[in-house]
Amino acid sequence: MKKQNLFIVPAMVFFLSLSGFSLKKDQPDPPSNTPVFLKATYTGNDAVYTNNPLASNEFYNPILQGCYPDPAITRKGEDYYLVASSFAMFPGVPIFHSKDLVNWKQIGHVLDRESQLDVHDTGISQGVYAPGITYNPNNDTFYMITTAFAGGLGNIVVKTKDPMQGWGEPIKLDFEGIDPSLFFDDDGKAYVVHNDAPDKGKELYQGHRVIKVWEYDVEHDQVIKGTDKIIVDGGVDITEKPIWIEAPHLYKKAGNYYLMCAEGGTGGWHSEVIFMGDSPKGPFKPAPSNPILTQRYFPSNRENMVDWAGHADLVEGPEGKYYGVFLGVRPNTENRVNTGRETFILPVDWSGTYPVFENGLVPMKPKLELPEGVTNKTSEKGYFPNGNFTFEEDFSNEQLDYRWIGLRGPREAFIKQSKKGLEIRPFDTEITELKPTSTLFHRQMHRTFTFSTDLTFKPKSENDFAGITCYQNERFNYAFGITKKDKAYYIVLQRTEKGNSEVLASKPISLSENISLKVEADNDVYTFSFSTEDTAFTKLGDSVSGDILSTNVAGGFTGAMIGFYATSANSIQP
Is the confidence at residue 27, as pLDDT, over 60?
no
Strand, coil or helix: 149: strand
**Which one has a higher pLDDT value, 417 or 74?**
74
Collapse the DSSP code of 382 into the 3-class scheme (helix H, G, I; strand E, B; otherwise coil) and give the result.
Answer: coil
Residue 252 sits at φ, ψ, to 5 deg, of: -130, 130
What digits encode the pLDDT tens for the residues 38-70? 999 999 999 999 999 999 999 999 999 999 999
In this structure, which amino acid lies at residue 114?
E
pLDDT band at 533 (very low <50, low <70, confident <90, very high): confident
Is a pLDDT exceeding 90 seen at residue 16? no
Q: Do 402 and 108 form a contact (C-beta atoms < 8 A)?
A: yes
Confidence of residue 31 (pLDDT cuts 50, 70, 90): low
Examine the pLDDT at 10 and tell me if it is beyond 90: no
The answer on pLDDT for 14 being more than 80 is no
Answer whether residue 15 shows pLDDT above 70.
no
CB 137 within 8 A of CB 119: no
**Average of per-residue pLDDT values in the chain:** 93
pLDDT of residue 22: 43
Q: What is the pLDDT of residues 467-499, one digit of tens each?
A: 999 999 999 999 999 999 999 999 999 999 999
The reported pLDDT for the residue numbered 11 is 34
For the segment 399-412, the average pLDDT, to the nearest whole number, is 93
Burial (CB < 10 A; 0-12, 13-18, 19+), residue 508, is exposed
Q: What phi and psi values does residue 324 have, to the nearest 5 degrees? A: -130, 135
The reported pLDDT for the residue numbered 180 is: 98
b or e along 278-304 (b: 16 or more beta carbons within 10 Å of the residue's beta carbon)? eebbbebebbeebbbbbbbeeeeeeee
pLDDT at 399: 83
Residues annotated as catalytic are 70, 246
Residue closest to 429 by CA, chosen among 406, 452, 456, 451: 406
* Cα distance between residue 456 and residue 566, in whole Å: 12
User: Measured between alpha carbons, how far is 506 from 527 in angstroms, rounded to an integer?
Assistant: 14
The four Cα atoms 335, 85, 132, 284 give a dihedral, to 10 degrees, of: 30
Task: Provide the pLDDT for residue 32.
Answer: 56
Cα dihedral across residues 13, 17, 20, 23: positive or negative: positive
Question: Dihedrals φ, ψ of 188, to 5°?
Answer: 95, -10
Of 366, 365, 364, 346, nearest in space to 356 by CA: 346
Q: CA 452 to CA 470: how far, in whole Å?
A: 12
CB crowding 423-442: b at 16 or more within 10 Å, else e: bbebbebbbbebbbbbbbbb
Q: Cβ distance 59 to 52 under 8 Å?
A: no
pLDDT grade for 26, boundaries at 50, 70 and 90 = very low
Question: Average pLDDT, stretch 416-422?
Answer: 84
Q: Which of 272, 195, 291 is nearest to 234 (CA)?
A: 195
Asked if residue 65 lies in contact with residue 468, where contact means CB atoms within 8 angstroms, the answer is no
pLDDT score, position 513: 79
**Cα–chain center distance at 215:** 30
What does 162-200 look like in DSSP terms, one character per residue?
-GGG-----EE-S---EEEEEEE-TTS-EEEEEEEPPST
Q: How confident is the model at residue 30 (pLDDT cuts 50, 70, 90)?
A: low
Residues contacting 465, CB < 8 A, separation 6+: 426, 459, 479, 481, 482, 483, 565, 566, 567, 570, 572
Give me the pLDDT at residue 21, please: 41
Phi, psi for residue 124 in degrees, rounded to 5: -60, -25
Which pLDDT tens digit goes with each residue over 429-438? 999 999 999 9
pLDDT per residue as tens digits for the range 69-89: 999 999 999 999 999 999 999
Question: For 207-257, how does the pLDDT look when each residue is reduced to its tens digit (9 = 90+)?
Answer: 999 999 999 999 999 999 999 999 999 999 999 999 999 999 999 999 999
In this predicted structure, the answer to whether residue 327 has a pLDDT above a threshold of 60 is: yes
Q: Give per-residue pLDDT as tens, 263-304.
A: 999 999 999 999 999 999 999 999 999 999 999 999 999 999
pLDDT of the residue at 29: 53
pLDDT at 405: 96
**DSSP H or E run through 551:** helix 551-554
List pLDDT tens digits, range 172-221: 999 999 999 999 999 999 999 999 999 999 999 999 999 999 999 999 99
- Give the C-alpha separation, 487 to 308, whole Å: 51
